[in-house]
Amino acid sequence: MTMKIRGTGSSLPEKAVSNDDLAKIMDTSDEWIRSRTGIGSRHIAVNETTTSMSVDAAQKALADAKMGAEELDLIIVASISTDQCLPSTACEVQAAIGAVNAVAFDINAACSGFLFGLSVANAYFAAGTYEKALVIGAETLSKMMDWNDRGTCVLFGDGAGAAVVEKSDIGLISMIQQSDGTRGGVLSCRNRPVNNPYVQNDTALAFTKMDGQEVYKFAVRTVPKAVSQVLEKGNVSADEVKYFILHQANIRIIDSVAKRLSQPLDKFPTNLQTCGNISAGSVPILLDYVNREGMLMRGDKIVLAGFGAGLTWGAALLVW
């Protein structure tokens, strides 16, 4: 394995919307949302876009890595909510930060997007094609919600996270990725009209529909298995891992994964309480928080894991 994380950054919209705020505009309550999901509030983009948050997170990650944008030779943006089809968000980031030497493109692997992006970068490093990459997970999910469907719109938030990664002999220990398109119907986003109460005159392509219970079953069965697979592949025990940084879908999923891995909950940092589920943005935003809070020392082992629509899932075991 051939990749090391050099720096991280993140960006959240200014507007925070609490469960109580939502209860004023729909038939829901803080008690219902918090007890079933752990979510207390989320950030909703009003003036921000997927591109602007990606650029902000990218600049912070480069500063953290002490690397100039012109040193990058690859930019990957993972997103299911880009501002437009063309040009790609990655090309817009490239232009905005002045990464004149980078190849840039977007990928869509839903909540596993950041993990899949890391894996693509790692494959380029292993092949000897590129050496320094920026991997971003960014979403404006509020544009994809049916704000009349209280079963989905309360779960999600907006934001972006980024990591500067570099070819290295130490860092990534093991990684897995998987997809199962036969079960894709449990979480989908197809054509729709627009009704976001926080943004006027907006347009978007689709509403998110979810069979929550099927997604829950998928997550609690698949994530512990994926984490166990990277640990086994890397010959590392769960006890040796300092933090498990999981996609932030639901506190009950995280509790269940912790139990199945027989690990204490304090090894599972969370930000879903204030951010909700940011799909591809969840893992890099949380990683940036853990990094900036000084919770990681060089040599610490961490596991990153994403899971979501597709269905897709992936996990990575790294030495910090």
Query: Which residues lie near ligand ACO (CB under 6 A)?
Result: 28, 32-33, 36-37, 111, 150-151, 154-155, 187, 210, 212-213, 215-216, 219, 249-250, 252, 277, 307-308
CB of 37 to ligand ACO, least distance (A): 5
Please state, in angstroms and as integers, the Cα–Cα distance from residue 179 to each residue in 118, 161, 219, following that order: 16, 23, 13
- Whether the CB-CB separation of 162 and 58 falls below 8 Å is answered with yes
Task: Give least dist CB 217 to ligand ACO, A.
Answer: 8
Decide: residue 36, CB within 10 A, 0-12 exposed, 13-18 middle, 19+ buried.
middle
| Closer Cβ to ligand ACO, 82 or 122, answer by number | 82
* CB closer to ligand ACO, 125 vs 313: 313
Instruction: Based on the residue annotation, tell me whether 43 is a catalytic residue of this protein.
Output: no
**Shortest Cβ 132–ligand ACO spacing (Å):** 30
Q: What strand order describes the sheet that includes 74-78?
A: 3-11, 158-167, 132-140, 74-78, 103-107
Nearer to ligand ACO, 9 or 281 (CB): 281
From the CB of 133, what's the least distance to ligand ACO, in Å? Answer: 25
Question: Does the active-site annotation cover 277?
Answer: yes
CB-nearer residue toward ligand ACO: 130 or 307: 307
- Nearest approach in angstroms of CB 42 to ligand ACO is 12
Comparing CB distances to ligand ACO, the nearer of 136 and 144 is 144
Taking the C-alpha atoms of residue 220 and residue 307, their distance in angstroms, rounded to an integer, is 10
Angle at 175 between CA 170 and CA 177, to 5 degrees: 155
Q: How many CA atoms lie within 13 A of 16 on its CB side?
A: 12
Minimum distance, C-beta of residue 69 to ligand ACO, in the bound complex (Å): 31
- Least separation in angstroms between CB 225 and ligand ACO: 15
Q: Which of 111, 153, 189, 275 is catalytic?
A: 111
The active-site residue, picked from 19, 196, 277, 291, is: 277
Q: Is 247 annotated in the active site?
A: yes
Question: Which one is catalytic: 247, 250, 275, 291?
Answer: 247
Q: Which is nearer to ligand ACO, 32 or 105 (CB)?
A: 32
112 within 8 A of 307, measured Cβ to Cβ: yes
- For 265-293, letters b (16+ CB in 10 Å) and e give eebbbbbbeebbbbbbbbbbbbbbbbbee
In this structure, how many other beta carbons lie within 10 angstroms of the beta carbon of residue 203?
9
Neighbour-count burial for 87-100, b at 16+ CB within 10 Å, e otherwise: ebbbbbbbebbebe
85-92 contacts at long range (C-beta below 8 A, 24 or more positions apart): 89/50, 89/51, 89/54, 89/136, 89/138, 90/136, 92/51, 92/54, 92/55
Please name the residue that has the structure tokens 């599972």: 268
76 vs 219, which CB is nearer to ligand ACO? 219
Position closest to ligand ACO via CB = 212
Catalytic residues: 111, 247, 277
